[in-house]
Structure 1
Amino acid sequence: MTTFVIKWTVKEHEAGLLREFLRVHKKISKSALADIKFSGGELLVNGKLSTVRKAVATGDEISVRFPPEEISSSMAPLPINLDILFEDDHLLIVNKSPGLPTIPSRYQTYGSLAQAVLHYYEEKGIQSTFHAINRLDKDTSGLVMIAKHRFAHSLFSMQQRNKEIKRTYLAGVRGTFNEKKGIISANIARNPESLIERMVSEHGQVAVTHFRLLKELGQNSLVALQLETGRTHQIRVHMSHIGHPLLGDDLYGGPVDVIGRQALHSWRVSFYHPFEEKKMALTAPLPNDLNRLFGHVEAEDWGINEYN
């Protein structure tokens, strides 16, 4: 089975103790270093086993072999096709189809993106468990970022907390707009009368959504959205709150006569790849059901690529 090995060359400003090189310059946590030490990992300097107390100099080659990861016994790998848009040793980005939950739940224990990824790892001999960087509702389609090891998950999660991962969603909603763009700022809380529903409430958590009109077709509209915050059901709650519920979203008042699920698609993501040391952006084309509603989306014509 494959374990993850990461290699670096020490730069002039990074010389010093190996511990400081790894903790300060490469952002490996104290707990991760303990895992490497006690759970089968290795630290090598110029090919020789070393400890964190080793002094490293400019030009030294550092290799970190992370220990194998335990695969969750609660999730059985399942042979479900994956639409993979990007993959390297650290990151997997897939275009999730509608109707597939990101992880199993009490309502659907069999069949999920997590189980599909575990099966894929099993086929490829990758010793890792499922590390979702973002999650999508079952009926929301589009981009899901998955870290292929704990260290990558830690770095991308840090970017997410710092709002450095930018996502653009496309949504089909009911109604036409007087304003071509706007900002929805309305706190979101659990609905005390429901196990899953959220609602706008002054006592809820701060939630901010930016929207931009792209296309109007009769009594329906296609909008692009970005989130400043990541509350559960945020887009669905906010669009319903301003009188434009998502098509197919019966939970929040959307009409169900034109599409069989909420018309929401995670379309674009941009981020900094910490291992490749470069900015990246990917898009996932609209699935067939949304294309039938709004026609082929020519993102460049509407300037969505510059929406970030």
Structure 2
Amino acid sequence: MPESAREIEIKITDNEEGLKVREIMSGKLKLSSREITRCKQFEDGVMIKKAGDAQYKLIWLKETVSAGDILKVKIYEDTDNSGDVIPSDDPIDIVYEDEDLILLNKPGDMVVHPSYAHHLDSLSNALAGYYLRTGQNHVVRTIGRLDRETSGLLIFAKNRHAAAILSNQKGNMSKRKEYLAIVSGVLENEQGTIDAPIGQEEGVRMIRKVMESGKEAITHYKLVRQFEDYALVRLCLDTGRTHQIRVHMSYIGHPLLGDSLYGKEIKNSHGMKRAALHAAHLEFMQPITGKELSFEAELPEDMKSLVDF
């Protein structure tokens, strides 16, 4: 028996009158055929309250609905992921949380997922600990990604259904995400677009570079403030290649301060111990309600100290 369920109530509109229950579940809730079938495996998985009725009653998937009806669907899932992510007591910075997702402000120089070298100190470990302490029974599901050195906004879905819908938004979401970076040197242009393919050299696992055989990569940047030998810039991406901002800014001669991979020629990183990159702004739609959400995350102290004086 599944350990957790997300209960969703839908009020049927005039435009939806006459549709079958299955059509509402697949069209409005974006449930797959497998998920719809699974809902019906349980006696209260799909129920309806007709206009004027006081209680819900069972309904078949082939039955039609009327305007004003309230359809209640329980989306079940297994949540036993013991051994996958070990909970830790590390704190997390919660920007937003609801029944379907949690948005965190990731610290810089922290990995998102557990690995051989970071078995207990990843952001996922910290989130698993938060779930445990607050009595929430969720699998840790990341939407999108951030490099270890990058700080800022990152979404985790709380259930399989929300994860699927948010993952389908990722392409558009990346274009509604903005980064702040501190780059070396004096920018000649206050704004620009870098359109240069990025690839991986054979036999080199970590480092990416601009190369003709690479995948399309497009980065837009705009100067926020110029300092003597570094600048604060705001960036957005049309594509989401690994290390894209770091590679592109280095390619045009302005690597990020503190970037040990792509900024080795920087003479003075002004105390930055990581690549100075922060996911500062994110817009997306709540996966169940469809409500537009927009968030900002302030610069972390290591970057803020260089631009806030």
Matches for 1:105-254 after TM superposition, within 5 Å = 105-163=115-173, 166-254=176-264
TM-superposition CA deviations, 1:10-60 (whole Å, max 9, x none): 112223111111112221122322343458981222222334223222111
**1:48/1:122 CA distance change after superposition, 3 Å:** farther
SS of alignment partner, residue 214 of structure 1: strand
SS of alignment partner, residue 284 of structure 2: strand
Aligned pair partner of 2:58 in 49, 52, 58: 49
Report how far residue 98 of structure 1 moved. 1.1
Tell me whether 1:21 sits opposite 2:9 in the alignment. no
| Residues 169 and 224 in structure 1, CA contact (< 8 A), matched pair in contact too | yes
| Residues 173 and 282 in structure 2, CA contact (< 8 A), matched pair in contact too | no
SS of alignment partner, residue 67 of structure 1: strand
- Cα RMSD (Å) of the superposition? 2.0
State the distance in 2 between where 1:91 and 1:74 align: 19
SS of alignment partner, residue 108 of structure 1: coil
Quote the residue 1:269 is aligned against: 282
Q: Which residue identity does 2:28 align to in structure 1?
A: H
TM-superposition CA deviations, 1:282-307 (whole Å, max 9, x none): 101111100111116xxxxxxxxxxx
TM-score, scaled to structure 1:
0.89
Greater mean alpha carbon deviation, residues 195-204 or residues 169-178: 195-204
**1:159/1:134 CA distance change after superposition, 3 Å:** same
Which structure would you say has the larger Rg? 2
State the identity %: 34
Aligned pair partner of 1:285 in 284, 292, 298: 298
Please list every run of 5 or more consecutive structure 2 residues that lacks an aligned counterpart in the other structure: 50-55
Report how far residue 145 of structure 1 moved. 1.3
State the distance in 2 between where 1:259 and 1:98 align: 11
TM-superposition CA deviations, 1:191-216 (whole Å, max 9, x none): 32421111111111111110001111
State the distance in 2 between where 1:264 and 1:164 align: 16
| Residues 163 and 228 in structure 1, CA contact (< 8 A), matched pair in contact too | no
TM-superposition CA deviations, 1:119-161 (whole Å, max 9, x none): 2222222222112112111111111111111111112211223
Quote the residue 2:14 is aligned against: 12
State the distance in 1 between where 2:78 and 2:171 align: 24
SS of alignment partner, residue 4 of structure 1: strand
State the distance in 2 between where 1:83 and 1:253 align: 29
| Residues 39 and 67 in structure 1, CA contact (< 8 A), matched pair in contact too | no
Quote the residue 1:60 is aligned against: 69
| Residues 186 and 208 in structure 1, CA contact (< 8 A), matched pair in contact too | yes
Quote the residue 1:303 is aligned against: none
State the distance in 1 between where 2:134 and 2:71 align: 26
Quote the residue 2:52 is aligned against: none
Please list every run of 5 or more consecutive structure 1 residues that lacks an aligned counterpart in the other structure: 297-308
TM-superposition CA deviations, 1:48-84 (whole Å, max 9, x none): 2334223222111111112133243321111211110
State the distance in 1 between where 2:44 and 2:240 align: 34
**1:65/1:289 CA distance change after superposition, 3 Å:** same
Quote the residue 1:299 is aligned against: none
TM-superposition CA deviations, 1:71-111 (whole Å, max 9, x none): 43321111211110111111211111112211112332221
Q: How many residues align?
A: 296
**1:92/1:210 CA distance change after superposition, 3 Å:** same
State the distance in 2 between where 1:92 and 1:267 align: 16
